[in-house]
């Protein structure tokens, strides 16, 4: 397929990223910064979609547009390389670094504190902020927003995420169904942000 580069992330985020990653992306563009755990969650996701280490470094360097090259190199470069397994030696020993976080991990570990943007908006945002974010990324259908609200109240964030996926991709899903081009794995519940990306990306073709 097309090469995934630092430059393509803006458009890929809008078209194919789950809400947790769109939220990180929008926060990065707004603040020209993300805190540690958000960088880690996002870096591992970007690595998982096939962004190379070089392109990922370019992406972060350009994203952190208010700091000097020197500060970037001193404070941020190492962690990106570490996530890719390019440096460091603990659980990183096999050389390919850490794997992307699953929804389960994002939902259950390190809830975001003030000023942090990682986590899952379907769990960690209140209903009002969640609705505002969904509307900002183009999900304005009232019955979908109502469904999300109910999923959230029942503490079923994945249900909300799958609901939004099905809504956003309703035309492609209908076509794939009609053409019989969807296999069983494409009908399974999404439980990983990279699975969300992969399915979304595949449906566009």
Binding site for ligand SF4 (CB under 6 A): 18-20, 103, 106, 120-122, 157-158, 161, 193, 196
CB 2, min distance to ligand SF4, A: 22
State in angstroms the smallest separation of the CB of 197 from ligand SF4.
9
- Check: CB of residue 134 under 8 Å from CB of residue 164: yes
Find the shortest distance in angstroms from Cβ 193 to ligand SF4: 4
Instruction: Give min distance, CB of 59 to ligand SF4, in A.
Output: 19
CA-nearest of 64, 62, 60, 51 to 97 is 51
Minimum CB distance to ligand SF4 smaller for 57 or for 120: 120
How many other C-beta atoms are found inside a 10 Å radius of the C-beta of residue 11? 9
Q: Quick one: 40 or 120, whose CB is closer to ligand SF4?
A: 120
Could you give the residue ranges of the DSSP H alpha helices within the chain? 9-16, 19-31, 36-49, 53-63, 69-75, 77-83, 103-108, 121-124, 127-136, 142-153, 157-168, 170-179, 193-203
Report the distance separating Cα 69 and Cα 97, nearest Å.
Answer: 24
Which lies closer to ligand SF4 via its Cβ, residue 6 or residue 24? 24
């Amino acid at each position: 397929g097309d090469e995934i580069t630092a430059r393509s992330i803006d458009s890929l985020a809008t078209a194919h990223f789950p809400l947790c990653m769109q939220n990180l992306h929008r926060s990065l563009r707004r603040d020209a910064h993300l805190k540690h755990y958000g960088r880690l969650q996002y870096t591992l996701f970007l690595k998982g979609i096939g962004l190379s280490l070089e392109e990922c470094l370019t992406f972060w360097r350009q994203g952190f547009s208010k700091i000097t090259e020197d500060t970037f190199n001193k404070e941020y470069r190492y962690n990106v390389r570490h996530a890719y397994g390019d440096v460091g030696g603990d659980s990183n020993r096999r050389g390919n670094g850490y794997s992307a976080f699953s929804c389960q991990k994002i939902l259950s570990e390190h809830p975001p504190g003030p000023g942090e943007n990682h986590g899952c908006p379907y769990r960690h945002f209140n209903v009002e902020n969640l609705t505002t974010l969904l509307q900002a990324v183009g999900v304005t259908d009232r019955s979908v927003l109502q469904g999300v609200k109910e999923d959230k109240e029942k503490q079923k964030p994945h249900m909300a995420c799958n609901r939004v996926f099905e809504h956003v991709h309703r035309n492609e899903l209908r076509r794939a169904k009609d053409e019989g081009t969807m296999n069983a794995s494409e009908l399974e519940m999404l439980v990983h942000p990279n699975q969300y990306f992969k399915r979304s990306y595949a449906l566009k073709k």
